[in-house]
Structure 1
Amino acid sequence: MTANLSDGVGGRLEGVRHVLTLRIYYEDTDFSGAVYHANYLRYMERGRTEILRAIGFDHRALWDSAKEGFVVRRMTVDYLKPARMDDVIAVDTWVHEVKQASLTLDQAVVRDGETLVTGRAVCAYVRDGRPVRMPQSMREQMARKE
């Protein structure tokens, strides 16, 4: 069974932004009680996956049908403030730039309106490990302004 956005699973689109809400659990934290830095990468990966799903593209279906999809080519992350156990955070994801075979997404991890972490991911669209043009309909959806 595949969950859809109306189930409350996978976040929601707010205009051209995607917002994924998550709770921080004990397993997400380090010895100091703050979220372990690598876990933010996991949260942001979920946000990137869910923005694609929200506009009608599924990583699994793309791979199963044509052996194609996105890979992260470069990522920059700025850690500003820590999240802690039981915090509710939002992973905001939006498009910075769309090219023929790549997509740059900006992301912010936010708690109660305060930005904790920011990131930018440059993702290449590949088939069998080689860059290819992403589907036109995907480029159009990602490049939309509202």
Structure 2
Amino acid sequence: MARSDFTFSFPFRIRYSEVDGQRVVFNAHYLTYFDTAITEFLRSRDIGYNEHFSPDTFDFHLVKATVEYKRPIRFDDEIDVWVRIGAAGRSSVTFAIEIHPRGEDALLSTGDIIWVYTDMTTGRSSPVPGWFLERMGWQPA
């Protein structure tokens, strides 16, 4: 994927508490960056999570998370986490994610986050609402 395939990014500056003994970002923090960027992506599309999803009716469940580490990210680096919808199925949405140094094309990490839309009263998957995919700018190929 090229950075030009994305229209949304969220910036981070790496804090000391996020790095390990080698001053490289500890692996689990990548998922925090992904989750924060997805939340901000939703906000940018006027989808307030608390307003649209509920543990009593319908909500998304994370079913898969993948991270590929391409190059180390170090303390005090400035990065942009790019997010877009990579795929959508009947009941699932896959977020494609890339991390780049701020304003640069070099690829530091890639990942996918898969959510399944769930009827919280039955615990079963449910069709992703059309309004959600529309607001997210999903265009099937």
| Aligned twin of 1:51 | 41
Q: Verify: 1:127 aligned to 2:123, yes or no.
A: no
- Provide the aligned C-alpha RMSD in A: 2.1
Compare 65-74 and 93-102 and name the one that shifted more: 65-74
SS in 2 for 1:115: coil
Runs of 4+ off more than 2 Å: 14-17, 62-69
Instruction: With the length of structure 2 as denominator, give the TM-score of the two structures.
Output: 0.83
The unaligned stretches of length 5 or more in structure 2 are: none
- Contact kept? 2:6, 2:82, Cα under 8 Å: no
Counterpart AA for 2:28: A
Give the Å deviation of 1:47: 1.3
The answer to whether the Cα contact below 8 Å between 1:100 and 1:139 also exists between their aligned partners in 2 is no
Matched ranges for 1:62-73 at <5 A: 62-64=52-54, 67-73=57-63
- In structure 2, which of residues 97, 100, 120 is the aligned counterpart of residue 110 of structure 1? 100
Give the secondary-structure state (helix, strand or coil) at the position aligned to 2:66: strand
Number of aligned pairs? Answer: 132
Q: Secondary structure at the match of 2:42?
A: helix
Counting aligned pairs with the same residue, the percent is 26
Q: CA deviation at 1:26?
A: 0.3
TM-score by length of 1: 0.80
Q: Deviations over 1:79-135 (max 9, x none)?
A: 111111111100000111122321011100111321111001111112314311222
Kindly provide the CA deviation profile for residues 13-38 of structure 1, in whole angstroms up to 9, marking residues without a partner as x.
x9962200011010010011000010
2:75 match: secondary structure: coil
Write 1 or 2 for the structure with the bigger share of helix.
1
Q: CA deviation at 1:75?
A: 1.8
